[in-house]
Amino acid sequence: MKKQDMFQVSVEETFSAGHALRGYKGKCENPHGHNYRVQVTLEGPQLDGIGLLVDFTQLKHVMREVIKRLDHQFINDLEPFTKVNPSAENMAKYFYEEVSGQLSGLPPGARVTDVIVWETDTAMAKYCPGA
Ligand SMILES: [Zn+2]
């Protein structure tokens, strides 16, 4: 059987914030900052009436709404990271939940497939929801 055609769209945004990893045995247990980069990827078999899987502008707007809460903040002070450790992994899951909850008007079958959070240029974590 032929695999279904898929379109994939990714958008990136950046922000700066501080965090401290609770329970980490090493220097990351202390407060420090990162210039974070977040990439959200959507996938779907169908485009809308004007040929888009998702409007880049809408996706960026939704991402910026989430980033607004975190930018130039100490992430450990913000829900859910007062309890959930603000690792890149947990932040990727947080972005997935917030962004997929706020996107609307997507064509049938379109969904967020993964979110990547870079803490540095060379270290990233990716969250993919279970099917
Ligand atoms: Zn860190």
Q: What pTM, to 2 d.p., does this model score?
A: 0.94
Residue 72 bears catalytic tag: yes
Report helix, strand and coil shares of the chain as percent, to nearest 5: 25, 30, 40
Give the model's pLDDT for residue 3: 80
pLDDT tens-digit map of 114-125? 999 999 999 999
19 alpha carbon – ligand 1 mean position (Å): 6
Give the model's pLDDT for residue 2: 74
99 alpha carbon – ligand 1 mean position (Å): 22
Give the model's pLDDT for residue 1: 64
Q: How many CB atoms lie within 10 A of CB 72?
A: 10
Instruction: Report which of 47, 42, 49, 129 is spatially closest to residue 92, judged by C-alpha positions.
Output: 129
The residue from 13, 19, 34, 119 that is catalytic is 119
88 alpha carbon – ligand 1 mean position (Å): 8
Residue 82 CB-density burial (10 A; 0-12 exposed, 13-18 middle, 19+ buried): exposed
70 alpha carbon – ligand 1 mean position (Å): 14
